[in-house]
Each structure stands twice: as C-alpha cells, then as structure tokens.
C-alpha cells in the first residue's frame, strides 16, 4: 500500500488538466507542463479531485504509483503557485550578476563564469554591502529548477574549512578545524 500514491490531489481554481495517449498536460496561470505516464498507473478525475490506482502489486508498479502522484502534485503546484530557490555566494571577491537570462559568476577562478539560464526560469540577484550575494531562481517546473540550481552549486561547492562556495539558503555546512587545531 502506497501512502503517497493513495493520497488524492485537489485541483485548485484556474488549473486545467488533460489526459490523452499516456501524456498528462497541466495548464495554469504560471505556465504549462506535460508528463508521460506509464499505463500501469491509471488516473481518475472526479469533482476536482485526482486519484491514482495501479494494476498490480509488482514492486516496479508500486514504485511508479507514488512517483506519478508526486510528479502530478508538483506540476499542479508549479502552474498555480510556482517554485523558488535561493542560493548564497559566500567568499571574498565572489560575485553574482544577472543580465537577462545570463548569470555571471566570479568564484575565485582566473575567469568569470557565464551561465545561460533556460527561459522558463526567472533569475534575480541581490548584492548588499557586507552580505553575501543572493541568487534567486523562480519557475513553474520543479525538476528544471532543481537541475539548474544544482548546476550553479556544482561550480563551487561549499568547502568545509572556510565555508566558501555556493550554497542553498539555509543549508548547513559542516566545518572542520583545519591543521592549526592539530598543532595544539
């Protein structure tokens, strides 16, 4: 029994869902998303509530039951409310500047890194004196947003000695003492 797969999804106002040929399309005020669905999991829409059921108790089918329910829920939340990720760029001389759909990062390398951000993602940067620059990413597609945020973070992961690097807002980085502590 899948607790996630059996949980129904309530469709909010202004969201349209269409299902044909194994492809589910969700439209809302923030955008449009589509997802292919395997035929081992069936979707039923009644009175603005979506429910999912599976054809058998095979482990592969059971795993897809919860997966497709989670994907549909994320699509519905994305087109109605959207998703947002914030990242901090921590380090002396580290900068982040957004120019349209280009993100220019100075991360201590000999050159600036310029990333082209997909058009589905809205990017903004905030740089205040005395504080680490903050990069904000907003989108209706949770998968794409996570993928782009992960790519940005991979350019300079937070290191454990000084804590420099790119981290998600609120992320805790385990700090190490370093070799100065070993001499004492």
Task: Give residue 122's domain range.
Answer: 83-168
Integer Cα distance of 80 and 73 in angstroms: 11
How do 134-139 and 83-90 pair as beta strands? antiparallel
pLDDT for residue 103: 95
pLDDT for residue 181: 63
Cα 52 from chain centroid (whole Å): 24
Backbone angles phi, psi at 121, to 5 degrees: -110, 130
Q: Are 137 and 149 found together in one domain? A: yes
Among the residues of 36-130, which ranges form H helices?
A: 59-80
97 domain residue, yes or no: yes
**Token pair recorded at residue 51:** 């429910």
Integer Cα distance of 139 and 22 in angstroms: 25
Whether residue 62 has pLDDT greater than 90: no
Q: Are 16 and 48 found together in one domain? A: yes
Integer Cα distance of 184 and 181 in angstroms: 6
Q: Are 70 and 135 found together in one domain? A: no
**Token pair recorded at residue 16:** 């349209």
pLDDT for residue 119: 94
161 domain residue, yes or no: yes
- 85 burial via Cβ count (<10 Å: 0-12, 13-18, 19+): buried
Give me the CATH number covering residue 162: 3.90.930.12
Confidence class for position 10, pLDDT limits 50, 70, 90: very high
Whether residue 123 has pLDDT greater than 80: yes
Query: What count of residues does the chain have?
Result: 184
Of 15, 47, 80, which residue sits at a domain end? 80
Q: Which of 10, 113, 5 is nearest to 52 (CA)?
A: 5
Q: Are 161 and 91 found together in one domain? A: yes
pTM over 0.85: yes
Whether residue 1 has pLDDT greater than 60: no
pLDDT for residue 182: 60
Confidence class for position 118, pLDDT limits 50, 70, 90: very high
Q: Which of 28, 21, 36 is nearest to 67 (CA)?
A: 36
Q: Work out how many domains the chain is built from and give that number.
A: 2
Q: Are 101 and 145 found together in one domain? A: yes
Beta bridge partners of 95: 106
* Model pLDDT for residues 141-171, shown as the tens digit of each residue: 999 999 999 999 999 999 999 989 999 999 8
pLDDT for residue 178: 80
Q: Which of 37-41, 45-49, 138-142 shows the highest mean pLDDT?
A: 138-142
């Amino acid at each position: 029994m899948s607790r996630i797969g059996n949980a129904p999804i309530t469709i909010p106002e202004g969201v349209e869902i269409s299902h044909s040929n194994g492809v589910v399309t969700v439209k809302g005020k923030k955008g449009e998303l589509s997802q292919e669905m395997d035929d081992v999991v069936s979707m039923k829409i009644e009175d603005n509530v979506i429910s999912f059921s599976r054809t058998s108790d095979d482990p592969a089918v059971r795993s897809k039951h919860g997966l497709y329910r989670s994907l549909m829920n994320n699509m519905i939340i994305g087109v109605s409310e959207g998703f947002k990720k914030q990242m901090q760029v921590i380090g002396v001389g580290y900068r982040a500047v957004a120019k349209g759909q280009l993100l220019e990062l100075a991360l201590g390398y000999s050159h600036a890194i310029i990333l082209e951000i997909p058009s589905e993602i809205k990017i903004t940067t905030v740089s205040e004196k005395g504080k680490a620059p903050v990069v904000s990413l907003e989108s209706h597609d949770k998968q794409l947003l996570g993928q782009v945020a992960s790519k940005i973070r991979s350019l300079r992961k937070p290191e454990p000695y000084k804590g420099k690097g790119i981290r998600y807002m609120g992320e805790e980085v385990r700090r190490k003492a370093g070799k100065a502590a070993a001499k004492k």
